[in-house]
Structure 1
Amino acid sequence: MSTLNWSPARTPEREILEGRFCTLEPLDAARHGDDLWESFEGAGADPKLWDYLFAGPFENRASFDDWLMRQSASKDPQHFAIMSHALGKAVGSLSLMNIVPANGSIEIGNVTYGATMQRTPISTEAIFLLARYAFDRLGNRRLEWKCDDRNARSKRSAERFGFTYEGTFRQHMVIKGHNRDTAWFAIIDGDWPVIRAGFERWLAAKNFDEGGVQRERLEALR
């Protein structure tokens, strides 16, 4: 067995991660609650938003606030609100979870995108900001993405972002009374330089026309 010449990864802290289209802020129920309630449960909300998530949908604001307060206080998962620069408000949330510094392993999870940010540059940049934080600042070796195997939208996103499919864990969980077979994806540190460069090219101003439409697909720029 070879010996790795590396040190354990850092544990993530409650840091602000700045991007071009959005900023990730540590989730705060008081600061972000009104925006996220509107994004997740208000008029025009995605009717399929909660289909494969551990929580939701919420019947009333009180139950949503209780959930959001628990999310805000959690250290693993550590949750972030996604702040849209264009709209000046929170439009979604996501987290770093299954944090194992000794192994240099961490996961992006609880990806909850309001309808206004879906299929926009924000949805891609938010993942890039967390991936860059996980590898370049925390020093992880492995970044994971897991989802219900029935969740075709999440699986397509993982592959678009550069995650490699590693297999499906059958009967892995019971979520909301239903079986979940879990599809596993990962990026490892050896993959990251090429994937990072692709994100940077895709997010550059020159990759968008005057209407904000991409000129090149993310996969084509890796």
Structure 2
Amino acid sequence: METNAHGQGLGAPIPGWEPRPWPEPVLLHGRYVAVEPLGSARYAELFAATCGDDDADLWTYRPIPRPRTLPELWMHLAAHLDDPAMVTFALVPLEGEAAGTAAGIASYMRIETGHGQVEVAGVLFGRALQRTRAATEAIHLLMRNAFDLGYRRFEWKCDSLNEPSRKAALRLGFVEEGRFRNHMVTQGRNRDTDWFSVTDDEWPAVCAAHEQWLDPANFDDAGRQRTALSVAR
């Protein structure tokens, strides 16, 4: 570790560092999913995919409970588009029962171009997207885009009680960093938040594991995986 004249430790130098560009709402096209800028043309599809009578559990850890009408969801999503600090995408699977229709959303948030960090947040997968290779590829494409832009840190955060989200982060190769206690009030309840990240030096190995898992050869004719992503990593 390098030290200064006072004997104090110094962080590693980053030669030629400059702020990174803002992540624009661009189309990210994969084998199994398209990650496209969110627009109102997809709102009705998202309502059908995530706001059914049996979908209340999808909203337990979100800022609002399940919207019961399309106008309620419309207002929720329109607020995303009106927020200059967010870049929100619709997740459109290219295969399966929901092919060609929006079945989920995800946003870039906490975008700090000066430090090269960005968070994927507000991830919502409808039933048709859950536990699919399209869902995995959607997060992979968002990560790849951020690191291709030169970001140094990609974050994932979730309610500490949201076990599926915690498992997803670890499966995707994120490193657990700790818990922020009493971090937020969500739907009138306390939220402790667990933090996860992937850094730019970790990304090449994480990316390679993702690509190995997403390779069509890793799936049988019924679309079942031959090797789990945790094994690929």
**What's the C-alpha RMSD, in Å, of the aligned pairs?**
1.2
User: TM-score of the superposition, structure 2-length normalised?
Assistant: 0.91
Which is higher, the Rg of structure 1 or of structure 2? 2
Which residue of structure 1 lines up, in the alignment, with residue 178 of structure 2?
A: 167
Contact 2:56 2:65 in 1 (8 A): no
Moved more, 64-73 or 109-118: 64-73
Specify the alignment match of 1:38 in structure 2: 48
Which residue identity lines up with residue 134 of structure 2 in the other structure?
A: I
> What is the 5 A alignment of 1:110-121?
110-121=122-133
Aligned partner of 1:185 in structure 2 is 196
For residues 158 and 14 of structure 1, the distance between their equivalents in structure 2, rounded to whole angstroms, comes to 23
The answer to whether the 8 Å contact 1:27/1:71 transfers is no
Aligned counterpart, 1:94: 106
Letter in 2 for 1:122: A
Percent identity between matched residues is 39
Task: Write the letter of the residue equivalent to 2:222.
Answer: G
Residue number in structure 2 paired with 1:206:
217
Q: Is the 8 A contact 1:80 1:95 kept in 2?
A: yes
Alignment partner for residue 146 of structure 1, among 139, 142, 157? Answer: 157
**Contact 2:59–2:65 under 8 Å retained in 1:** yes
Task: Tell me how far 1:120 sits from its aligned partner.
Answer: 0.7
Q: 1:75, 1:131 → 2: CA distance?
A: 20
1:208 is aligned with what amino acid? F
**CA distance in 2: counterparts of 1:218 and 1:21, whole angstroms:** 16
Unmatched runs of 5 consecutive residues or more in structure 1: none
Instruction: State which drifts further: 61-70 or 98-107.
Output: 61-70
Q: Secondary structure at the match of 1:132?
A: helix
CA-CA distance at 1:99 after TM superposition: 0.1
Q: Give the TM-score taking structure 1 as reference length.
A: 0.95
CA distance in 1, matches of 2:21, 2:213: 28
Alignment of 1:31-70 (within 5 A): 31-42=41-52, 45-70=54-79
In structure 1, the residue matched to 2:206 is 195
